[in-house]
Amino acid sequence: MKTFDEQLQHLVVEALMEDVGDGDHSTLSCIPAEKNGKAVLKIKQDGILAGVSVAEKIFQLVEPTCNFITYKRDGEAMVLGEKAFEVEASIHTILKCERLVLNCMQRMSGIATLTHEYVEKIKGYHTQLLDTRKTTPNFRLLEKEAVKIGGGTNHRFGLYDMIMLKDNHIDYAGGLEQAINKAYHYITSTKPSLKIEVETRSMEDVRKVCAIGRTKVFRIMLDNFAPEQIVEALKIIDGHFETEASGGINLDTIESFAATGVDYVSVGGLIHQAKSLDLSLKAVVI
């Protein structure tokens, strides 16, 4: 598995190739290649800042000798009018990187800000906040990083790092018992490091998993259970499995789920409902 920096480099190279193509002709047409400049990242909306370290890596990948000065760090509260960073580099580098840096930081800051709102709602409870795989194709790396910056916890990154037996897997496999047994045989013979999570849709499903999955399953997902149903399910589970509540949970309802004592609450909306925040990269004319 590639490291975060290796994955980020791949993302940046592909994104710049998509944007620049055979040349940044706007810049090439009017700015001498040897001319250097300075730009400042201006904050235009309150929230939680995310993506400063990513911006630094983008500029350094394009121009390793650039001078990047950080004023605010990832995870800090940001206020309209503040500066996040300054960069001194070739003007060609600044203009080539500008849109990619802003796209990443605006999106990441929006996700981190929304995640922080959710985390604040369940502060003081045992429950942890999880994200999901409901991400933008080829941008999952930074969306999930933004969740962490906002105080959330990453669920599995993809299909490869955990077995999650959801409704369609269970139905196609012929039922809960068949799905669990087949998955357990698969990991023992193929990849023992994988853990198995099972989605349950009813109290009967919960009882079945407790009966047949004690040594095979590590987490039970309680999908679309109301808080009072989760309380009942947790009594059946009796601490033998990790537990996760999922399905339609939002800012208005998350505290009622955390109050049940469930271990995790997953919210797809952390990413797919987040709104990008307003930032701008402005030239400093000397």
- Provide the angle, in degrees to the nearest 10, between the axes of the packed helices 4-20 and 140-149: 120
Q: Please identify which of the residues 197, 223, 244, 263 carries the catalytic annotation.
A: 223
Q: List the catalytic residue out of 143, 199, 205, 244.
A: 199
Strands 264-266 and 242-246, bridge-based pairing? parallel
Active site residue 38: no
- Catalytic residue, chosen from 38, 156, 166, 275, is 166
**Which of 42, 72, 83, 99 is flagged as catalytic?**
99
Sign of the alpha-carbon torsion through 57, 62, 65, 66: negative
Place of tokens 């990154």: 157
Reading the block at residue 59, the tokens are 């500029």
Q: Are the CB atoms for 94 and 86 separated by under 8 Å?
A: no
Is 57 an active-site residue?
no
Q: Answer yes or no: 197 catalytic.
A: no
Instruction: Give the Cα separation of 286 and 283 in Å (integer).
Output: 9
Handedness of CA 197, 198, 203, 205 (dihedral sign): negative
Whether residue 34 lies in the annotated active site: no
Question: Which residue in the list 72, 134, 156, 195 is annotated as catalytic?
Answer: 134
Catalytic residue list contains 223? yes
Q: Which two tokens stand for residue 207?
A: 């009882």
| Active site amino acids | 99, 134, 166, 199, 223
